[in-house]
Amino acid sequence: MVQIRVTVWGENVHERSNATVRGLYPSGMHQCIADALNAAPDITATTATLDQPDHGLPPGRLDATDVLIWWGHCAHAQVRDDIVDQVCNAVWSGMGAVFLHSAHFSKPFKRLMGTPCNLTWREAGERERLWLTSRSHPIAADLPDHFELEQEEMYGEPFGIPDPMETVFVSWFQGGEVFRSGCTWKRGAGRVFYFRPGHETYPTYHDANIQRVIANAVRWACNPAPRIPDPSAAPNVPVETALEPITERGPKLHTAGEGGFR
């Protein structure tokens, strides 16, 4: 069976600095997510963390990643900008990306969205009820019409994202707020999914429904086509190579073969 190669990227800060988080995720949230994915016969998941050289994403790692999963919270600013460039380039080239919970404020998600990605929030252990809003969507496969997490952080609208391609889940919280909690986009040749649950002081990534959504999202985001070699290329196509014969005319700003402005 062809394996979908997943890299689960975790900030891995609160797992080491906070006793509650360490108790829930002794090997880190990234490892918990990877272990759940590795239970699926068609997925091979490995991990990468902020503290590793190149944040665990050295040259070649993203080329060998079909889908990148990203969780970050308190250390977004520590992520090197050249690594963010590589992540965005990989997505534009065709890599899938799944951003979880507080990764709404991560550098690569904000770059890919181009909007503030802000929201309202409250850390009060409220019940979250997720409603499926797109029944036939592959990310919702084998899930009930609604399911609950007994304790979660609240994220509320307005959520400062560009309109999603599809909204797969909305969430309701005990305090009354609602939120678009599962959203898809295409960015270049890559598919992007944002999934809201996953505050680190709750056992969210041990939940079977949450694990199923993440595995479904990996399968949905995986693009088997070869990567686009240079997704930011903007070639100046010479007159002589036009598909139909044309004669150059009128005033010009650029000279033949010039690279153009960036």
Residues near Zn ion (CB under 5 A) are 102, 153, 199
Nearer to Zn ion, 66 or 128 (CB): 128
- Residue 123 or 230 with smaller CB distance to Zn ion: 123
* Residue with smallest beta-carbon separation from Zn ion: 199
Q: Which is nearer to Zn ion, 8 or 91 (CB)?
A: 8
Smallest gap from Cβ 199 to Zn ion, in A, equals 4
Three-state SS at 223: coil
Tokens of 188: 């270049």
* Contact criterion met (CB below 8 Å) for 73 and 81: no
Q: How far is the CB of 101 from Zn ion (least distance, A)?
A: 6
Structure tokens at 114: 């181009």
CB of 69 to Zn ion, least distance (A): 16
For Zn ion, which is the closer residue by CB, 74 or 256? Answer: 74
Cα dist from 182 to 24, 116, 179, whole Å = 24, 18, 9
The minimum distance between CB 202 and Zn ion, in angstroms, equals 9
Distances (CA, A) of 51 to 4, 26, 56, 74, 106: 25, 17, 8, 13, 16
Cβ closer to Zn ion: 15 or 66? 15
Whether 230 contacts 89, CB under 8 Å: no
The residue with tokens 């992007």 is 192
CB of 11 to Zn ion, least distance (A): 12
